[in-house]
Amino acid sequence: MPEKKQDTFTVTDRRLFTPDGELREDITEEQVASSHPVAQPAPAAKPATASTTTSDTSSDAVPPAPTAAEQQQQADAYRKSSKDLDTRVELSGHSAKELEMTFERFMASLYMTAMLQLGLMREEGGEPRVDLIGARQTIDTLSLISEKTKGNLTAAEQNFLQNCLYELRMAYVDVTNALARPPQAPLKGTGT
């Protein structure tokens, strides 16, 4: 019986940024340059032909990624702009903490969006509008987030997400069932 050869391998962290979006301190200029090659001008667009595949056209449409220096510059500008806004909010008598994005606020935003799309909520003074496809996509987005964040959420975050999904799925079923039912004739003697 042949002996199994045991291979070894080394895992190297090649990420350029920390989880906070900051450029890692142990990254050298050479590593940044090698991970982001200099962008070449895009070739002229080719007319689509029957033999062109989807992968050919999609690779031409993707712009090159920004360099690490460009990303750092953008992140710094974003932070400065956010601090300026926080200062203005504080001067108006409100707390800038109200603007901080948390996981629960993100989930609540998607929840409210789905409720609007289901026509169960409406803007003040507006008419409710039903967008079943949009609602389904929003619910599917929450489901995708649930799958992708398994094991990474606190118990409170997981509970909040599961409650949002449960309520939205039930509301979706209720709305689609109501829309599928034929209109009922008015009752006799009601005058309508």
Tokens of 17: 């940024």
Average the pLDDT over 67-77 and give the result.
93
89 with 154, same domain: the answer is: no
Is 146 a residue whose pLDDT tops 90? yes
- 9, part of any domain: no
Nearest residue to 24 via CA among 13, 38, 33, 34: 13
For 87-101, b/e burial (b = at least 16 CB within 10 A) is eeeeeeeeeeeeeee
- For 123-145, what is each residue's pLDDT tens digit? 888 888 899 999 999 999 999 99
Please report how many Cα atoms fall inside a 13 Å half-sphere around the Cα of residue 44, on the Cβ side: 1
Measure the CA–CA gap between 161 and 107, rounded to whole angstroms.
7
175 with 112, same domain: the answer is: yes
**Residue after which a domain boundary falls, among 80, 100, 120:** 100
94 with 105, same domain: the answer is: no
pLDDT at 159: 95
pLDDT at 45: 46
107 with 132, same domain: the answer is: yes
Q: What is the DSSP string of 115-151?
A: HHHTTSS--TTSPP---HHHHHHHHHHHHHHHHHTTT
**Residue after which a domain boundary falls, among 100, 120, 152:** 100
- 85, part of any domain: yes
- 30, part of any domain: no
Average the pLDDT over 22-28 and give the result.
68
106 with 86, same domain: the answer is: no
- For 158-182, what is each residue's pLDDT tens digit? 999 999 999 999 999 999 999 888 8
- 151, part of any domain: yes
The answer to whether 114 touches 138, Cβ cutoff 8 Å, is: yes
pLDDT at 58: 54
80 with 121, same domain: the answer is: no
119 is in which domain, residue-wise? 101-180
- For 28-54, what is each residue's pLDDT tens digit? 655 555 555 444 444 444 444 444 444
74 with 111, same domain: the answer is: no
Q: What is the DSSP string of 8-72?
A: --------SB-TTSPBPTT--HHHHHHHSPPPPPPPPPPPP-TT--HHHHHHHHSPPPPPHHHHH
Q: Which of 1-5, 81-85, 187-191 has the highest mean pLDDT?
A: 81-85
- For 83-120, what is each residue's pLDDT tens digit? 888 888 888 888 888 878 899 999 999 999 999 999 99
79 with 116, same domain: the answer is: no
77 with 114, same domain: the answer is: no
Is 6 a residue whose pLDDT tops 70? no
Measure the CA–CA gap between 49 and 56, rounded to whole angstroms.
11
106 with 171, same domain: the answer is: yes
Measure the CA–CA gap between 180 and 1, rounded to whole angstroms.
66
- 57, part of any domain: no
pLDDT at 136: 97
pLDDT at 123: 85
165 with 132, same domain: the answer is: yes
pLDDT at 17: 67
Identify the three-state secondary structure at position 77: helix
- 162, part of any domain: yes
Total number of domains constituting the chain? 2
105 with 87, same domain: the answer is: no
- 1, part of any domain: no
- 133, part of any domain: yes
Sign, Cα dihedral of 126, 131, 134, 137: positive
